[in-house]
Structure 1
Amino acid sequence: MSGGLPPQRRGRRSGGSDSRELILAAARRLFAERGFDGTSLRQVAREAEVDPAMIHHFFKGKDELFAQSVELPADPAQVLAGVESLAPAQRSEAIVRAVLRLWESPAQHGLVAFIRGTIGSKAKTALLREMVARTILSRIIAGLPGSPEEARMRGNLIATQIVGLMLMRYVVRLEPLASASPDEVVRLVAPNVQHYLTGELTFPN
């Protein structure tokens, strides 16, 4: 059969301008489906149909690829820097103040957009869950006594307080919480966070 176009050959893409976005799109799918530990850079390269070396051209490693896949407006590691070095009995106020500093900063509009864009999206929710567990809760619960399961539960309970605070104060803007001063919010919320950090919890045997 003459005159026809030759069939297009599938293969690895070269380093074009769209390679970075292809890598990020593939990484988002795989991280959402398999989590951080279940995803390798080689798998991402295969999904994006690029050479594995191309990932290292754009990203320093798996951690940076994951962070940029989540598309957070701020780096949680910087926001919570130093929290894990505090004694658990002194950690709650620092956690709440760190959250308030972030949300009272110019990053607030981007954070609101991120939260609204995440709600209702299974893929984005899965990415957010993985990021919260790896980057945020791991710092908050570092050095807590008890079993790893108990520490994770304490971290989950703290997350209910922090996420609820963010949603009600900055997204829903529920009054009078939305207009309360940061010091007042710390005074009211930090004791609950401290209870979840170090208070007595009843776990089933």
Structure 2
Amino acid sequence: MNFQNISRHIGGWIFLIMLLPSLSFAQAQSKKGSNMKKASNEMNKKTETATFAAGCFWCVEEQFKQLDGVISVTSGYTGGTVANPTYKQVCTGTTGHAEACNIVYDPSKISYDQLLAAFFVAHDPTQLNRQGDDIGTQYRSAIFYHNEEQKKLADYYIRKLNEEKAYNKKIVTEVTPYGMFYKAEDYHQNYYDNNMSAPYCQRVIKPKLDKFRKVFKGKLKQE
């Protein structure tokens, strides 16, 4: 995937997606990159997992569910110190957990690079401990990496986006090793599908979803 500056005006919003400049990350690593590519080809025979926090997990879940190659999305809590937290506890902002999503995907259909691009479109990574009216550390922007390759890609994207001034402010996304992930209560799973007429779904999730689908037209499960 080559990096290029793409400005898209969608519903009054401008999404700036900057992808790797001229060379893929792996290609830029010379022999090391070649070895990584071979390892990646082996990994393509099985599923992989990405874990992102980007504000309310109801929004994140529904957006990533749209992408072809994404097998499942599970909403939950991670990054904190409290074992088996409840939604009520996490909402206090005292558990250290973020609302996050475990995204299981088929790397032969969608790459981690592409998921990172979706992550940076799905929310505003320059907002510290909030997304819009959702405020608190539980709504922070974070990438929980599962291996060193994911960490290197995440760090690289953030560095290049900042260098190119893709946003008006500096990216505040945390890059943190994946730890314990606690699945959220059942009523949080597939929240948008099950509560489509709810005010939050109509006022917050649907506009984000519509814009996300326009940006990734051609990469969706259902066009």
Higher relative contact order (CA 8 A, sep 6+): 2
> Which has the larger Rg?
1
Task: Flag the structure with higher strand content.
Answer: 2
Taking structure 1 as the reference length, the TM-score comes to 0.27
Q: TM-score, normalised by structure 2?
A: 0.26
